[in-house]
Amino acid sequence: MKANKLKVLGSLSALIATGYAIEHRNEAIRKTRNRRIMLATLPLAALSVKPLLRKRIQKKVADAVTTITTDEYNQNIMELWTAIKRADIHNIMEINLRATQGTAITRPIGTPKKFDGYDNIMFIPPQLTDLSKPGNTKIDMEVVIGKKASKPLILPIPLIISGMAYGIALSEKAKRALARGAKTAGTAICSGEGPYLEEERREAGRYILQISNWPWGLRKDEEILAADMLEIQVGQGAQMGSYYVAPEEIKGKARRLMGLSRNEGISRMPAPPGILSNHDWPPFFRKIRQRAHGIPIGIKMMATEKIEEELAKALEYGVDVIAIDGAQGGALNSNPTMQDDFGIPSLHALVRAVKFLNDQRVRDQVSLIVSGGYFNPGSCLKAIALGADAIYLGTLPLYAMVNKQHQKVLPWEPPTTLVSYASKYNHKLDKGVSAERVANVLRSMVVEMEQVLRSLGKTSLHELSPKDLVALDDFSSQLTGIKKAY
One-letter amino acid identity for 420?
Answer: S
Q: Are 192 and 169 in contact (CB under 8 A)?
A: yes
- The pLDDT tens digits of the residues spanning 113-149 come to 888 899 999 999 999 989 999 999 999 999 999 999 9
Provide the CA 60 distance to its chain's centre, in angstroms: 44
Summary mean pLDDT of the chain: 90
* C-alpha separations of 363 from 84, 208, 300, 372, 388 in Å: 48, 22, 17, 21, 10
Pairing relationship of beta strands 297-302 and 229-233 according to DSSP bridges? parallel
Q: Record the pTM.
A: 0.84
Q: Are 192 and 171 in contact (CB under 8 A)?
A: no
Q: Which of 193, 196, 166 is nearest to 178 (CA)?
A: 166
Q: What is the pLDDT along the chain (486 residues), one digit of tens a residue?
A: 545 554 544 555 555 555 555 555 566 566 666 666 666 666 666 666 667 788 888 888 998 889 888 988 888 888 888 888 888 888 889 999 999 999 888 888 888 888 889 999 999 999 998 999 999 999 999 999 999 999 999 999 999 999 999 998 999 999 999 999 999 999 999 999 999 999 999 999 999 999 999 999 999 999 999 999 999 999 988 788 888 888 888 889 999 999 998 888 899 999 999 999 999 999 999 999 999 999 999 999 999 999 999 999 999 999 999 999 999 988 877 888 998 899 999 999 999 999 999 999 999 999 999 999 999 999 999 999 999 999 999 999 999 999 999 999 998 898 989 999 989 999 999 999 999 999 999 999 999 999 999 999 999 999 999 999 999 999 999 999 999 999
- Burial class of 199 by CB neighbour count within 10 A (0 to 12, 13 to 18, 19+): middle
pLDDT score recorded for residue 6? 47
Q: What are phi and psi of 154, to 5 degrees?
A: -105, 125
Instruction: Enumerate residues 6+ apart whose C-beta is below 8 A from 278.
Output: none
CA dist., res. 214 & res. 225, Å (int): 20
* C-alpha separations of 68 from 71, 88, 284 in Å: 6, 21, 67
Pairing relationship of beta strands 121-123 and 469-471 according to DSSP bridges? antiparallel
- The third-level CATH classification (topology) of the domain covering 121-480 is TIM Barrel (3.20.20)
pLDDT score recorded for residue 119? 95
- The pLDDT tens digits of the residues spanning 310-354 come to 999 999 999 999 999 999 988 877 888 998 899 999 999 999 999
CA dist., res. 205 & res. 254, Å (int): 22
One-letter amino acid identity for 146?
Answer: G
pLDDT score recorded for residue 87? 85
**DSSP-assigned states of every residue in 138-153:** --B--EEESTTSSS-E
At residue 325, the 3 state secondary structure works out as: strand
Angle between helix 346-359 and helix 307-316 axes, rounded to 10 deg? 50
Provide the CA 293 distance to its chain's centre, in angstroms: 32
CA dist., res. 385 & res. 383, Å (int): 5
Provide the CA 142 distance to its chain's centre, in angstroms: 23
Q: Which of 344, 408, 365 is nearest to 111 (CA)?
A: 344
One-letter amino acid identity for 21?
Answer: A
